[in-house]
Amino acid sequence: MDLQSKIFVAGHNGLVGSAIVRTLKAQGYTNLLLRSSKDLDLRQQQAVDDFFAQEKPDYVFLAAAKVGGIQANNTYRAEFLYENLMIEANVIHSAYRHQLQKLLFLGSSCIYPKLCPQPMREEYLLTGFLEPTNEPYAIAKIAGLKLCENYYRQYGVNFISAMPTNLYGINDNFDLANSHVLPALMRKFHEAKVNQSPTVTVWGTGEPLREFLYVDDLADALVFLMKNYAQMEFVNVGTGDEVSIRELALTIKSVVGYTGEIEFDTSKPDGTPRKLLDVSRLQDLGWQAQTSLKEGIEKTYAWFLENSDRIRR
């Protein structure tokens, strides 16, 4: 990519897309194509194809997706499968038809089997059953990376895929019902602090282990891959470190400054017991995460406080 390349960031208003835009701008890229879902519905094939025909982007970061936490994934199962299939199929096929230079598709670590050997290597894909609560979303993401892989195989196009671990950061979704665990806990602890509530309830046992990547680190990795990687095989993106939900809750509690107690609701699902990516492929290419979990939570909470009037709730 040169600095004048026309770059389409699909999903630029979301957590990942907005981080990609920040990173590209910080590196001097100015010719960015940005369309909100109101201006371009990626679920509509003709609208997507018309956009590619008119704008002719050189590069595409496909970060647009319907996303959410355990409850949202388990409740809106048909929507998560259908909408994500439509988005990725339309964008990838139009990118092929209009002969852009390169596309990067964003998957999710939930594509791996529920009881996958740890840490999860790229070759473990499709070796076991998926976690039932997010199976539709995982199937859609697997389909997206297989689209890239097979367009690469059949047509020789430079379509690559990256599989990020659990993400958090600036512009996250803090809705208690539909967000991921870290922003949901941050909002819970913040409101408990403001309301002087004696306890905060956390779903599950607190024992599951998770890996968390600050979203601006992810964006840096994606731009790095767009510049330096051109292989059919997808690449895990993470920190290589893990933390229990209990430890995560204690860290957020400390950053927020909440002084009450934590209660664990063991009637709620834990989800996958452990989820750690093997990131040796990405590290061998020369990239690794720079932001520690505590530092990332501090940056996210500072942004949360500064933008409390307009955050997604």
Determine, yes or no, domain membership for 145.
Answer: yes
Catalytic residue among 59, 137, 151, 168: 137
Total number of domains in the chain: 1
CATH number, residue 103: 3.40.50.720
pLDDT of residue 68 exceeding 80: no
pTM confidence score: 0.93
Active site residue 137: yes
Whole-number pLDDT of residue 136: 95
Render pLDDT for 245-304 as a digit per residue (tens, 0 to 9).
999 999 999 999 999 999 999 999 887 788 899 999 999 999 999 999 999 999 999 999
Determine, yes or no, domain membership for 312.
Answer: no
Q: Quickly list DSSP for 51-71.
A: HHHHH--SEEEE-------HH
Determine, yes or no, domain membership for 198.
Answer: yes
Determine, yes or no, domain membership for 1.
Answer: no
Structural domain of residue 208, as residue ranges? 7-306
Determine, yes or no, domain membership for 311.
Answer: no
Determine, yes or no, domain membership for 186.
Answer: yes
Render pLDDT for 209-228 as a digit per residue (tens, 0 to 9).
999 999 999 999 999 999 99
Determine, yes or no, domain membership for 313.
Answer: no
| Residue 252 CA: distances (Å) to CA of 267, 291, 295 | 22, 16, 11
Question: At 285, which helix (H) or strand (E)?
Answer: helix 280-285
CB atoms within 10 A of CB 285: 15
Determine, yes or no, domain membership for 2.
Answer: no
Length of the chain: 313
